[in-house]
Amino acid sequence: MNRAADRLFLGAAAEPCGDAVVLGAPLDVTESFLAGTSMAPRTIRAVSDVLETYSPILRRDLSDLDLVDWGDVAFPPQDVTAALTAIDQAVNDARGAGFPLLIGGEHTVTLGAVRGIQRRYPELFVIQLDAHLDLRDVYGALPLSHATVMRRVADAIGFDHLVQAGVRSGTREEFELACQCLASGFSLELAPEVRKRIAASPIYLTIDIDVLDPAFAPGTGCPEPGGSSFTEVVDFLYSLADLNVVAADVVEVLPTSDVNNVTSVAAAKLIRELALLFAAPCG
């Protein structure tokens, strides 16, 4: 890990083990519109202090957990393959120490994290909250990119283990391909048959911040109008409380395009709620 002089995430300690483990993955190589997501882990940590550690909805406090921050995963900044390998190992290690919470970086980092978690949970399902399907086979001649990441994830876990929600953008071919997924849709809800299918299975949850409408999250590289409010997204997370979510990420925050850090603060609050929802206190 690369622990520079950065601040720790809200309420976290720099310890080797905990109930929840925060990691940064500042990959920023394949962005197609606006670059700068490498700054997100540092920025989200810095602004997290504007939040309280207590969630009044969940009636839980980060002080009830052993929340630790391992810093940023170390990898060559322009080598996507090496970065994914490093993230794979770091997230696998983090799962051995607690509940992994990965902060991107571009969405490509999710592939490395899913690989790391799948080594522990071969029957893994993935729930993706996103404005975009990200199911292209190649994008700009690249098979590994933020626009192909869920295609590569589906290659690893199977299309029938991929659940997509909040989607409102993609090519005709991507939407046709999405029919193979367990569920793909515009709404932020799980159909009863989908919930029944995944109820007893380990789940990786990935949140692209652009699932939020740009009015609520202007600081992202590919904003897509017509999205959800913050309340709608966090309510969806609360609806997953009875499921076996084993790791999660929040990706695609772009601090240089943000307005008064509102997107970074939203991301930090999502991370807080994820920790309180899915990281069981030891003992």
Residue 34, pLDDT score: 74
pLDDT (tens digit, 9 = 90+) per residue, 219-228?
999 999 999 9
Beta bridge partners of 248: 101, 205
Residue 30, pLDDT score: 81
How far is it, in rounded angstroms, from Cα 54 to Cα 272?
A: 9
pTM, whole model, 2 decimals? 0.96
Helix (H) or strand (E) holding 25: strand 20-25
Residue 4, pLDDT score: 47
Distance of CA 191 to the CA centre of its chain: 21
- Supply the Cα-derived Rg of the chain in whole angstroms: 17
How far is it, in rounded angstroms, from Cα 111 to Cα 115?
A: 6
Structure tokens at 107: 């969405």
Q: Report in angstroms the alpha-carbon separations of 206 from 37, 190, 259.
A: 16, 15, 23
Q: Report the mean per-residue pLDDT for the chain.
A: 94
- Residue 62 CB contacts under 8 Å (≥ 6 apart), including other chains: 10, 11, 12, 53, 54, 272, 275, 276
Residue 282, pLDDT score: 60
Residue 280, pLDDT score: 80
Residue 246, pLDDT score: 98
Residue 111, pLDDT score: 98
Quick check: 188 and 236 in contact, CB under 8 A?
Answer: yes
Cα dihedral 217, 218, 219, 223, rounded to 10, equals 100
Residue 6, pLDDT score: 65
What letter represents residue 135's amino acid? Answer: L
How far is it, in rounded angstroms, from Cα 124 to Cα 244?
A: 10
For the chain, 283 residues long, the average pLDDT of each consecutive 10-residue run is: 71 93 94 84 97 97 96 93 97 97 96 98 98 94 91 97 96 94 89 95 98 97 94 98 97 96 98 96 62
